[in-house]
Structure 1
Amino acid sequence: MSALTPLRGPARVVVRQHRWTLWIAGGLALAAVITLIVTALRSAHVVDAFESGPCSVEGDPGRSCYQPVRNYLDTTFALNGVGNYAALLLAVLPVIISAFVAGPMIARELESGTFKVSWTQSVPPAHWLAAKLAVPAALLLAGVPVLTAVLSWARSYADTPYPAQWHDAPVFSTSGVLPLTHTFFGMCVGALAGLLIRRTLPALTVAALVTGTALTVLTYWRQELWPPRTLTGETLNAKEGMWWVETGDLTSGGERLTGTACSRSSSEGDRLQCLTDHDITNHYLDYHPASHFWPLQLVETGILLALTATAVTVAFRLLRRRTG
C-alpha cells in the first residue's frame, strides 16, 4: 500500500482534469451495454417467434411464407448490424485511447507548461506519469472486459440466420483477451508519443497512426502466429468453422503448388490433361480449427504485452533523462 500512496494525489488530479471526458466515456459504455442486451433479447424473441411458425428460410418459401421470411431476414439483419457497430467501436477503441492519452492527457500539459504545477508540489515526474497511466488503465480494466463479455453474449443470439465465424477479424479482435490487450497497448503508445512529441495535435495523430498500423499488421499476419494443420486428399472435406490459411495442389514428389493450377480448365478432359501435365496427384489445405482460438489469442497477446512493456520502459527512461 505504501507504494500506491504517492499516486493518490496525482491520480485524483488526473480524474478531476478529465472528469467530463470520463463521464461521457462511462455513459457511452453503459449505453452500449444496454443496447447490446436489448438487441440480444429482441433477436432471441424474433428467432423464437419465427421458428415456432410454419415457415422456414430453407428452400422455396412459397407465396404464403415469402413475406414472413423476408421480414424475418430483414429484422435479424438489422439487429445483427447493431452488434457489428458495437464490435467496430470496440475495435477502434485502442486508437481512440492512444490519441487521447498522447494528446489531451500528456502532450497538452507539456506544451502548455501546466505540468510544472504538479512537479513543483513535491510530485516527482515519475509519479506524475504513473498517474497518467494508472487512471485510464484502471478504467479500461473495469470497462473493456464487461463490453467484451456482453458483446460475445449478444453474438450468441445473432448466430441465426447470420452466424459469425470465430476467425473473422471483427469477431476475433473483439473476443477473448485481445480487446483489453489492444487498449493497454494503445494507451502506452500514446504515453510515449506524448512525451516524445510534446505537442497535442501531432502527438495524438502519430499515436493513432502507430497504434492503428501495429494492430492492422498483427491482424494481417494473425494466421501465421500458430502452426496450422494440414488436410490432404483428392477431395478436401473441409468442415464448417475452419479458418482456411492456404490451399493448393501436391505433385507426386510432394511439392506444393500454391493455388489450384487446373481450376480454370473448361472441361473435364482439359482438367485431367492439366493434372497430368503438372504431375498433380493430390490437394492440400492448411487451416486453423476452432481449437486454435486461444493459442492464437495468447500469442498475439504476448507480442502486444512485450511491445507495451517496451513502450512504458522507454517512456519512463525518456522522462527521467529529460527531468534529471
Structure 2
Amino acid sequence: MKRVLLSAMLFVAAAAGGAPLAWQDSEFARVAETDGEFSRVVYRNPERKSFTLKLAKPLELARDVHRVTFWFARLKGDFELSFIIRDAAGKEHLLGGYSSRPSFHTIHYDAMHEFSVWCFYENKTDFFTPENVTERIREEVLPGIAPIVEKRLWPRPFELVGLRIQPAPGPQTDEARHDVENIRAGRGEFWLKTPEFVTVNGLDAKYNWFMRDRLRAGLDAHRPKIFPDDLTGEQGKIRCRIEVSPGYQQPAVWRAERVFEIDKSRPVELFKQAVELPELAPGIYEVKGKTWREDGSFAEARLMRLYVNFGSNAPEVAPLAPAGMY
C-alpha cells in the first residue's frame, strides 16, 4: 500500500534478509513517497554539485557479497547515481556511476525517447574482490608490487552507507532529455527499487544477455524485461504483441500478447506490467513489438536486438501460441 512520507525517515524492504532500510533526508534530497520496495526520491541543488542521501543506520552486507543490481526510473532531471560502500577499515568507496542518460556512442539523443523510464544496472565483474584475493596476489604478483596492490583492496566486511547523487553538470547535455528547465535548475525526481546485493561472482554466471537497443544487460536470475513504454510512446490502454525470433526474417520462437495501461508518470505500475522474456540459447535475437490503440487502430512497431552470450542449450520456452486478432 502506497504511503506518503511525513517524517524525515523512510523504511523500505531491503534485499538483505528482508530487513528494512531507513533513508534519512538530506539538505538537497528526500524520499517523498513509497510503494512497497520502491521509493520516490526528489532532489534540488541549484549549484548542480554532488550530494548524498544516507541511511539512518548503515546496512551490513553479507561477507561473501560480490556485486549489486538495481532498477531506477527517471522522471525529471538528469543525474548519476553511485552507492557509498564503507569497508572494514572505515574507508568509503563509490560503487557505480550509473547515469540516467544513456551514453553509448551509437545512441542518438532522440533515440532515448524510445527507452522505458526504467534503467537496469548490474555489475558483471567482482567490484568487491573475492575473499582469497590477498593470497592470490602474493602467489601471482611480483613481490615488489604485491604490497601496492594489496593497499587498494577493500577489507571485508562491507556496509552500505547511502547513495550519492550527481546532477548533470552541463551545459553540453542540458537538452538531451528535453527537460532543460529542471536540468539547469538542478532539480530531479526518480523512483528507486531496493538494490539487491548478490553473492555470486558475475564471471561465474550461467546466463548472460545484452539488449543493445535499450542498453540493458543482466546475468542469471535477471532475465530481459520488456516494459510497456519500451514498445510505444503512446499513453492509455494499449494492446501489444511481442515476438522473439533468431534473426530478422526467421520465424518466432516465442510470443506474448498483452493489454497495458500506460502512464509514464506512474513507473511502479509500468514495472508491475513488464513482460519477462524466457531463457534462450546463445545467439542474436530480434525482439519485435507491435502495438494497437483501444479502438483497434495500429499505433507503431519497434525492433530491439537481444544478444545472449551464455545461455541454455535446450531453452525452455512456452509453446508458441497463435497470433491473436491484432
Instruction: Report the TM-score when normalising by structure 1.
Output: 0.27
Q: Which has the higher helix share?
A: 1
Q: Which has the higher strand share?
A: 2
Larger CA Rg, structure 1 vs 2: 1
Instruction: Report the TM-score when normalising by structure 2.
Output: 0.27
